[in-house]
Amino acid sequence: MELRRMNSGGSEAENLLRMEHLRRLFDQIDKNRDGQVNRQELGCALKSAGIEIPDHVRDILFERGDTDADGTINFEEFCKLVDQPDMKQFFYKFFNIPPISRIKDRALNYWQECQWTSPPPIFNLMFILVQITIYAIDKDSLKCRKVLEFQPSNNKEAWRYFTYSLIHMNWMHLIGNSVFQLIFGTALEPVHGPRVALLYFIGVLSGSLLHSFTNHASTLVGASAGASALILAWVSDVFLNWAEQSCPMVSLVPVILFIIWQCVMTPGMTSLPAHISGAITGLLFGFLVLKNIKEHPFERKITKVAVVLGVVYLGTLILLNICNVYT
């Protein structure tokens, strides 16, 4: 049942928590666990709650809940019955259903309660440290760069599709990517754990795959594709957990600023396709890889579409590169 159909006057997150309470109550009344409450089960529940009413009054109450007249009350009908204006006080008093005001603070803090359940952002911090170390050691000799950079003309060396993200052109290049990884990676990783590392490497891979077609004559270095994947994965996270966050619109502001910065600062960069490809895969695969704290029906539909698009996009790039290697 869609939460917005519950006329309880609270936000979607508040209604979600209240519906969980109603589900537990419904399961207690539904003794045979068939997903339906019959007259006898409702009568037993009323007696257990200390409510002594005549059978004909019980039948009237039951018929008000049995809106489809099939002889049973399902969970959706039960929620509607509880929310009827003249029924609220009855159910709240005898079945101890908490009103919205009593769970509002918990709902607003629901997202925060889910955070920091995973280890600290070890991957993100370690990867930034590796990038800094390699640049500091290799900035003069460039020996590591020759081995790690992505060269479309040398695409049989498969490690280069990933290792180019470890090296950078200069300090400004390194600092820019590190800042974005630090901001978005360390915010995502405590909630989603190692899934963030998977998204990062998917973005890195897709960046080199697209670059090999659009800039075949130039090499590719830098973690921009991986950073872009994390930034757009942030958008996926916001939409997946919209109801569990207190200010989801505010969470999108950093992403908007990044997009503006990309449009203003990097329109002529040869690595721009890698940025775009990383962002695409981060957004699409974010719906699949990241945790959905509380899944809603419309989110399942969006996730399915995003996964299909992501698999088609990445699969096409991989197949085209395989064909390119052996032709």
Q: What integer pLDDT is reported at residue 205 of this predicted model?
A: 95
Number of structural domains the chain divides into:
2
Do 50 and 150 lie in a common domain?
A: no
CATH number, domain with residue 124? 1.20.1540.10
Q: What distance in Å separates the CA atoms of residue 209 and residue 220, rounded to the nearest whole number?
A: 11
Give the residue from 204, 211, 205, 203 showing the smallest Cα distance to 232. 203
Angle at 203 between CA 113 and CA 323, to 5 degrees: 150
Show the low-confidence residues of the chain (pLDDT under 50): 1-10, 99-118, 326
**77 lies in some domain:** yes
**131 neighbors 168 (Cβ within 8 angstroms):** yes
How high is the pLDDT of residue 4? 35
Q: What is the residue-wise DSSP string for 136-185? A: HHHTTT-HHHHHHSB-GGGTT-TTHHHHGGG--SSHHHHHHHHHHIIIII
The predicted structure's pLDDT at residue 266: 57
Q: Are residues 141 and 207 in the same domain?
A: yes
**Nearest residue to 280 (alpha-carbon basis) of 254, 312, 323, 242:** 312
**Structure token pair of residue 88:** 């609220």
Which residue, 59, 83, 108, sits at the end of a domain? 108
pTM over 0.75: no
pLDDT attached to residue 5: 39
The residue range of the domain holding 167 is: 119-325
Q: Rounded to whole angstroms, how far apart are CA atoms 275 and 207?
A: 7
pLDDT of residue 117: 45
Q: What is the pLDDT of residue 304?
A: 92
Rounded alpha-carbon distances, angstroms, from residue 270 to 205, 215, 262, 320, 325: 17, 7, 13, 20, 22
pLDDT at 24: 77
Instruction: CATH number of the domain at 71, please.
Output: 1.10.238.10
Residue 131 is predicted with a pLDDT of 93
Question: What confidence score (pLDDT) does residue 107 get?
Answer: 39
Q: Are residues 289 and 146 in the same domain?
A: yes
